[in-house]
């Protein structure tokens, strides 16, 4: 049911179309929740069926009509119940770490190569996050609680990515695989 709550939580911020929700997940909430547009459209239809959201049709010329989804009263009630309940930690399933257990089959060069790709990725992501931090969260203590909490989600993204980068350095230390430029 968690995707359902992810959608409700995003609609709680502001009404949106399935397309916009897809972008929010990809761009602003990538660190928090992921879902494809197919999954989102499917789940929105179900939530509509269950009366948790309402739709407003907005006609457009050329393109298909926009279906703007709003949170219904029962929707925010449900969301409230879920948010105030306890959620267990998500399970980890990481292919990169898994490969370490078949290390003898993994050539040192390929490990190093793959690690470099990940590092580039993490570095880029970290820079994106830091930019958002600079641009939108200068004076955190003065912000209303709502934005403080979103800031904390961003901070989690930053810290998680930094932690991966620090780990990558340890991998190179232990395995003697020097970074790209050395």
Partner DNA sequence: CTCCTATATGCAACTTGTTGCACATGGTAG
Partner DNA sequence: CTACCATGTGCAACAAGTTGCATATAGGAG
Closest CB 85 distance from DNA, rounded Å: 13
- Which of 24, 83, 80, 20 is closest to 52 using CA atoms? 80
**From 15-23, 42-50, 54-62, 96-104, span contacting its own copies (CB under 8 A):** 96-104
Closest CB 57 distance from its own copies, rounded Å: 26
**From 31-39, 118-126, 147-155, 172-180, span contacting DNA (CB under 7 A):** 31-39
Task: Identify any residues that bridge with 55 across adjacent strands, giving them in sequence order.
Answer: 69
Identify the DSSP state of 62: S
Strand residue runs (E) in 31-92: 53-58, 66-71
Is residue 138 involved in binding its own copies (CB under 8 A)? no
Q: How many CA atoms lie within 13 A of 146 on its CB side?
A: 4
Choose which of 61, 105, 135, 142 interacts with its own copies (CB under 8 A). 105
Is residue 95 involved in binding its own copies (CB under 8 A)? yes
Q: d(Cα 95, Cα 117) in Å, to the nearest integer?
A: 14
User: What is the binding site for DNA (CB under 7 A)?
Assistant: 1-4, 17-20, 22-23, 34-39, 41-42, 44-45, 60, 62-68, 91, 93
């Amino acid at each position: 049911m968690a995707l359902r709550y992810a959608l409700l939580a995003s609609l709680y911020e502001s009404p949106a179309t399935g397309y916009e929700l897809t972008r929010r997940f990809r761009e602003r909430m990538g660190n928090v929740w992921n879902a494809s547009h197919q999954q989102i459209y499917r789940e929105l239809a179900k939530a509509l069926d269950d009366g948790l959201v309402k739709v407003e049709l907005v006609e457009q010329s050329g393109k298909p009509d926009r279906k703007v989804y709003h949170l219904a009263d029962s929707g925010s009630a449900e969301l409230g119940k879920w948010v105030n309940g306890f959620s267990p930690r998500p399970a980890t399933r990481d292919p990169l770490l898994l490969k370490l257990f078949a290390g003898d089959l993994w050539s040192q060069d390929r490990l190093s190569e793959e690690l470099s790709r990940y590092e580039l990725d993490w570095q880029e992501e970290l820079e994106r996050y830091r930019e958002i931090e600079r641009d939108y969260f200068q004076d955190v203590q003065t912000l209303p609680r709502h934005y403080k909490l979103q800031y904390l989600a961003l901070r989690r993204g930053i810290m998680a990515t930094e932690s991966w980068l620090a780990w990558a350095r340890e991998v190179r230390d232990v395995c003697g695989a020097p970074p790209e430029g050395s």
